[in-house]
Chain A
Amino acid sequence: MNILEVKDLRKTFATQTAVDQLSFELEQGSIFGLLGPNGAGKTTLIRMITGIFYPESGSITFEGRPFAALKDSIRIGYMPEERGLYKKMKIGEQAIYLAQLKGLSRQEATRRVKDWFARFEMQSWWNKKVEDLSKGMGQKLQFVTTVLHEPKLIILDEPFSGLDPVNSNLIKEEIYSLAKKGASIIFSTHRMEQVEEICDHIILMNRGKKILDGTVSGVKQEFKENEFRITLDSPAVIDPDTNIFQVLESDDTHFRVQISKGFRPNDVLRYFIDRGHGITSFTEILPSLNDIFIKLVEGTPNARQFHRI
């Protein structure tokens, strides 16, 4: 079942179209990556899904019904990219307050905050103020306030920025366990390695439009360039006239090759076997998401942050 269906969504601001006829579906319990360069329209899209903006046209269906911002807000948790907390407010109070705004009773909110604080080992922070927290601690608190009301749909914008590896893992584990319990997660980020690791499904946006939609492995298959890495037990000299593959890189026993159109990996293996070489390894090289995205958005004005590092 799809928890969220977005159809032909459109939103324009005075000077530009921020989201342009965008459609996608989100399956319950899945982790969904929303990717795109700055200014691609991700934040606008998220703000429409969270009910902050009204779409100009198109429809949002949430749990099978048309999305009603006020009624559904308790079923959605949103953690914006720019973290927002009241600096002067005590942490425990603050978490309870934000949960109450979502519609929890005070008792229920208090119980859950205590629960989460125990799980994240934050009990001793209760009476501290946000301004006394480090960035990473603030991040953890923000995550707790986002998921406290047990939303069915959780939207996380760059949830790992500023976190050390230990806390990153803590949050990652929580994301997995929330998804296992049936929550669906939209995950917006620039960090491709995290997307590859966490997400089931991704879409890529650029300039308000969806330019890619699929599972992580599906996308990689779609954009693979038929490159393989082959290791032999003895040095080999490649016949320059062969039309089965092209050699991209080589030293005596290691080769990176690209298989030409009309041939299969078996043809490559046969080529080396026929010449009496022993093959110790043969692996397909799939493009990284980073490579794919650079390829797709390169040349457009917003592609700056995807330059190869």
Chain B
Amino acid sequence: MSKIWLITRREYLTRVRNKTFLLSTFLFPLVIILFIVGSVLISTQTHTRQRIAVIDANGYFKDYLKSDSSISFDFTPGLDTLNYAKHGCTAVMIIPVLPEGQRTIYRLKYKTQLSLAGRGDLEHRVDEAIVDHMIYEKTTISRGRLDSLRNTSHIAELATFEDNGKTARASNQGMSFAVGYVSGILIYLLTFIYGAMVMRGVMEEKTNRIAEVVVSSVKPFQLMMGKITGIGAVGLTQFLMWIVLVVGLAVAAQGFVSAETWKEVQEVQQASQMGNASAAGHVSDAANRIYAINSAVDSANLGVVVVLFFFYFIGGYLFYSALFAAVGSAVNEDPQEAQSLMMPITLPVIFSFFIMTAAVQDPGGPLAVWASIVPFSSPIVMMARIPFGIPTTVAWWQLGLSMLLLILGFLGTVWMAGRIYRTGILMYGKKPTWKTMWKWAFRAS
């Protein structure tokens, strides 16, 4: 045991003392933030402006179709399917006479494809124009009255609550989605980063032939476990530093908020608890925004998320890093060999990532549920589901079973990897296949 500790200590200290450790600790969150901000920016910026020429055989769309910044309509006479592009339009919509009580097809010809959301938006506008036209035609209501009714009808706002039996907690789908997505991506990245670190460490020991010196003093299993726990401790240290960084930044940010605004924030809070959002209508924008952030953070249940994140990070790390260690012990100097042997390990991780992206959209779906229980994918997928609430979205039995299976899973992979490792670490020459590694793992000792 003390020898594992010695090895852990060395693995930990040599990495933490390294300058690249500090650098990567601070660069990694920066890269993640840039990545998230960048992808959000790109997804909002790519919303292209559509200018659609309309050829209307009914004659009334001109009065009802509403243009705005994302889609505008052009009713200039003389526009047709041949010259619309010349007039600066991105598409031309041909609406034939629409007889009542019969579904009729209208067409859109385009140079620039509409996005999926853009298509839904366009359909909605055309439908609304038809409804408006019908109401105006069939009733005695005036145009002005109809428009003002429409404008003043936006008075209901949906708030969702998670039912926890006696209490209910305000929930925020957007925040749960974001926290789940970020947690899933983090576990995915960390599994690869630290798994690869373990593999490179093992390969280094093997190619340097230091392994032979060390295993004449300690058991190969101790050497492998020491490496895994040492690098795992590096990961935890890094993660703790990130938490300190985030909490520190949050506290610093709060320091910039004036006492006045805090008071207003409390007012908003009280008002919203009484179920009357407009009562606090006089408070400043800043207070409203802070309240929104605070309630979103509350709704994501960050305490539980962080604790479980630690569990799934450690569990997933042990599960996969043991396999990475086994691969590292089997290959020789050539990194190409490692690539091909890594495939069976990286594939389930990548699959888990894709399942995770689906799980944040539908955290209660059967795929998400089962993938969050099976230990191959549970660290990534379960972390994407947890922010949606325990025990509402994630039932207690699912969480319990998932954690139990993950513990059994990593005990299994560590055991198997230990057996591959002790043979592989001293084996030079031909690259082993998965079949021979399987034999190393399961033959009688």
Inter-subunit contact B217/A102 (CB<8 Å): yes
A50 at the interface (CB under 8 A from B): yes
Main secondary structure of the interface of B (DSSP, over half): helix
With A84-B208, A87-B208, A88-B14 known as contacts, the answer to whether A101 contacts B426 (CB < 8 A) is: no
B208-237 interface code vs A (CB 8 A; 1 in, 0 out): 111111111111000000000000000000
A230 at the interface (CB under 8 A from B): no
B6 at the interface (CB under 8 A from A): yes
CB distance from A206 to the nearest CB of B (A): 21
Closest to A50 in B: B216
A47 to B208, CA, bound (A): 17
A90 to B3, CA, bound (A): 20
With A89-B14, A100-B6, A101-B6 known as contacts, the answer to whether A83 contacts B209 (CB < 8 A) is: yes
CB distance from A55 to the nearest CB of B (A): 13
Inter-subunit contact B213/A98 (CB<8 Å): yes
On chain B, which size bracket covers the interface? 20 to 34
A79 to B210, CA, bound (A): 10
* Residues of chain B contacted by A80 (CB below 8 angstroms): 209, 212-213
Partner among A52, A82, A97 whose Cβ is within 8 Å of the Cβ of B215: A52
Partner among A47, A82, A103 whose Cβ is within 8 Å of the Cβ of B209: A82
CB distance from A46 to the nearest CB of B (A): 9
* Residues of chain B contacted by A70 (CB below 8 angstroms): 219
With A47-B426, A52-B426, A70-B219 known as contacts, the answer to whether A101 contacts B214 (CB < 8 A) is: yes
Inter-subunit contact B216/A84 (CB<8 Å): no
CB distance from A16 to the nearest CB of B (A): 13
Q: How many residues of A contact B (CB 8 A)?
A: 26
* Residues of chain A contacted by B214 (CB below 8 angstroms): 84, 98, 101
Partner among B6, B10, B14, B210 whose Cβ is within 8 Å of the Cβ of A84: B210
A228 at the interface (CB under 8 A from B): no
CB distance from B162 to the nearest CB of A (A): 50
A272 to B214, CA, bound (A): 64
* Residues of chain B contacted by A102 (CB below 8 angstroms): 217
Inter-subunit contact A73/B212 (CB<8 Å): no
Closest to B3 in A: A101
A101 to B2, CA, bound (A): 9
Inter-subunit contact B209/A84 (CB<8 Å): yes
A85 at the interface (CB under 8 A from B): yes
Q: In chain A between 184 and 221, which residues have their CB closer than 8 angstroms to a CB of chain B?
A: none
* Residues of chain B contacted by A84 (CB below 8 angstroms): 205, 208-214
Inter-subunit contact A82/B212 (CB<8 Å): yes
* Residues of chain A contacted by B211 (CB below 8 angstroms): 84
A103 to B2, CA, bound (A): 9
Q: In chain B between 136 and 194, which residues have their CB closer than 8 angstroms to a CB of chain A?
A: none
* Residues of chain A contacted by B208 (CB below 8 angstroms): 84-87
A80 to B210, CA, bound (A): 9
With A83-B209, A84-B208, A87-B208 known as contacts, the answer to whether A76 contacts B6 (CB < 8 A) is: no
Partner among A51, A85, A89, A100 whose Cβ is within 8 Å of the Cβ of B216: A51
CB distance from A188 to the nearest CB of B (A): 13
A137-150 interface code vs B (CB 8 A; 1 in, 0 out): 00000000100000
Partner among A54, A89, A145 whose Cβ is within 8 Å of the Cβ of B213: A145
* Residues of chain A contacted by B210 (CB below 8 angstroms): 84-86
A51-86 interface code vs B (CB 8 A; 1 in, 0 out): 110100000000000000010010010111011111
Q: In chain B between 198 and 213, which residues have their CB closer than 8 angstroms to a CB of chain A?
A: 204-205, 208-213
A66 to B75, CA, bound (A): 100
With A88-B14, A89-B14 known as contacts, the answer to whether A98 contacts B217 (CB < 8 A) is: yes
Closest to A47 in B: B426
* Residues of chain B contacted by A82 (CB below 8 angstroms): 209, 212
CB distance from B94 to the nearest CB of A (A): 71
* Residues of chain A contacted by B219 (CB below 8 angstroms): 70
B348-389 interface code vs A (CB 8 A; 1 in, 0 out): 000000000000000000000000000000000000000000
B1-16 interface code vs A (CB 8 A; 1 in, 0 out): 0010011001000100
A79 to B213, CA, bound (A): 7
* Residues of chain B contacted by A88 (CB below 8 angstroms): 14
* Residues of chain B contacted by A83 (CB below 8 angstroms): 209
Closest to B436 in A: A14
Closest to A85 in B: B210
* Residues of chain B contacted by A100 (CB below 8 angstroms): 6
* Residues of chain A contacted by B216 (CB below 8 angstroms): 50-52, 73, 76, 78
Show the binding face of B for A, using Cβ within 8 Å: 3, 6-7, 10, 14, 204-205, 208-219, 426, 445
> What are 5 A-B contacts with C-beta separation under 8 Å?
A78-B212, A79-B213, A86-B14, A88-B14, A89-B14
Task: Give 15 new A-B contacts, CB below 8 A, not counting A78-B216, A86-B205.
Answer: A52-B215, A52-B426, A80-B212, A80-B213, A84-B205, A84-B208, A84-B210, A85-B208, A85-B213, A86-B204, A87-B208, A88-B14, A98-B213, A101-B3, A101-B214
Sort A-B residue pairs by CB-CB distance and give the 4 closest, nearest first: A84-B209, A84-B210, A82-B209, A50-B216
